[in-house]
Amino acid sequence: MAVKIVRQVKSIALLGAPTSAAGLGAGQEGAPAALRSAGLVERLTAAGFQVTDYGDCAPRVYKPDDEHPRARNASEALAIIEELRPKVETAVKSGALPVILAGDDTVVLAAIAGSRRYYRHVSVISVDRDAGLNVPATTPSGCLDGMVISHIVGRGAPELVRFWGEPPLIREPDVAVFGIDRVDQPEQKWLGGSPLQHYLAVDIKRHGAAVAAQEALERVHGSRHEFVLLLDLDAIAAEDFAATNFPGSGGLTLDEIRQAVGVFARQSTLVAFVFAGYNPARDTDGKAAKIAIDLLEGVLAPRLQAPAAEASATAAASGGDTPAAETLQPKGPAEAQTAERQVEEVTMAVPSAAPDPSEPTVPSADSAAPAKPSEALSEGEPPAE
C-alpha cells in the first residue's frame, strides 16, 4: 500500500494529551485546556499557521497506585498512548505538523509510533532536565515519566515497551537527551556504556545552545531523516519558568532553550512535536502559560519563512518482516530549493516490528563536546524521576 503525504509547513495539527498519570502528582492533565484558554490557537493563527484542532484524548489523572510501586499507573499511561497514536497517524498523513500539548512525557511514545506508521527512519530528541533513564528495578519513585527514554529504547516498563511492535521503538544511537541536569546514579552508570547521545546542560552552556543543538541533530541524523521532538518545560531554569512539577535552579535559561529548540523546530524533517511538562495548577496568575505560548510560537514561526513551502512524500507500506529501503530523490539543482514550492519524492516503508538491527551504529556523543555525566551531578538537586 502506497500513501502520498504532502507536507505543508504552514499547517499545524493540534492534539491534546491531558494526562498526569505517569507523573508524581496531579495538575499536568490541565495543560492542554489551559494553553488553549490562554490563546495558543489564536497566536499560532495570527503568526500565519493554519491550525486544525483535533481536540483532546480522555483525561488521565495521577493516582498514588501503591499496588504498583515500581511502575505506577501503567494501565492509565498505556491507555492514553493507545488513544493518541491513531490521532498522530491521521495528523502525520495530513501533511501538517502534529503539535501535541501534553501533560507528562510518556505520550511521546504515541508520537513516535504514529510517525513510524509512515516513516521507517525516525529518531527522537528529548529536551529535558531529567535523563528519563530509570527502569522499574532502579526507580526511586515508580514514576513512568522518569523512565520515558528507557521505554523508547526497550528497557522500561513492559506495558509501554511492547505497546507497538517489537522493541525498541528507536535504537539507542538514534536518541538524544539534551539539557540534562539531574541524573540518578543507576542512570549515570548505564549512560556511560550506551551509544545514546547525551548533552549535559553544563556543556551546552559552554559550547552555545544553538551549536550544541545542531550537533545533536546531526548525530541522530535529524537533518536527513524524520525525528520527533520532546520538550519538557522543566528543562528551563526555575528562575525563568517554575510552573512544572519539579522546577530546578540552574540548567538552561529560557533564552538557551529558545535557541536550541529553535534549531530543532525549523527542520523540515520534524515529524511531530510534543510540548510537555506545564502544570497550570502551579500557575495561578497565568503568566507561565503566556511564557509557554510565546516560546512555542517563537520556535515554530521560522517554519513559515522556510524556502521549501511544501514537500510531497510517497510512503510504501510493506507487509513483510523486512522493510523496503528508503531512497531520497531531490528534484532539481540546489538553487531550485529556494523556490516557494519544493517537491521531494521519498520512498518509505512501514516497519512491522523493530528497526533494522543491521544499520550502522552511530558513535557516542561522549567522543565530542558532551562531557561525562558525572560532571553535571549536583548534590543539592532533587532526585531524577
Please determine, for residue 328, whether its predicted confidence score (pLDDT) is greater than 90: no
351 CB neighbour count, 10 Å cutoff: 22
CB 141 within 8 A of CB 70: no
- Helix residue ranges, H only, 266-332: 287-300
Query: What is the pLDDT confidence band of residue 3, given thresholds at 50, 70 and 90?
Result: confident
Q: What is the pTM of this model?
A: 0.83
C-alpha cell at 299: 520556535
In terms of C-beta density within 10 A (0-12 exposed, 13-18 middle, 19 or more buried), how is residue 367 classed? exposed
Please determine, for residue 332, whether its predicted confidence score (pLDDT) is greater than 90: no
Q: Kindly list the domain boundaries of the chain, sorted by start residue.
A: 12-310+357-376
pLDDT at 132: 97
Mean pLDDT in residue range 170-175? 98
Q: Alpha carbon of 166 to those of 115, 298, 343: distances in Å?
A: 16, 37, 33
Mean pLDDT in residue range 310-314? 48
What is the percentage of the chain residues whose pLDDT exceeds 70?
79
Averaged pLDDT score across all residues of the chain: 85
From the list 357, 123, 127, 376, the residue with the least C-alpha distance to 227 is 123
* Dist CA 251 CA 280 (whole Å): 22
∠ at Cα 37 (36, 39), nearest 5°?
70
Which helix (H) or strand (E) segment holds residue 12: the answer is strand 11-17
pLDDT at 315: 54
Please determine, for residue 379, whether its predicted confidence score (pLDDT) is greater than 70: no
Question: Which numeric CATH code is attached to 12-310+357-376?
Answer: 3.40.800.10
pLDDT tens for each residue of 90-137: 999 999 999 999 999 999 999 999 999 999 999 999 999 999 999 999
pLDDT tens for each residue of 22-57: 999 999 999 999 999 999 999 999 999 999 999 999
CA gyration radius, the chain: 19
Mean pLDDT in residue range 240-263? 97
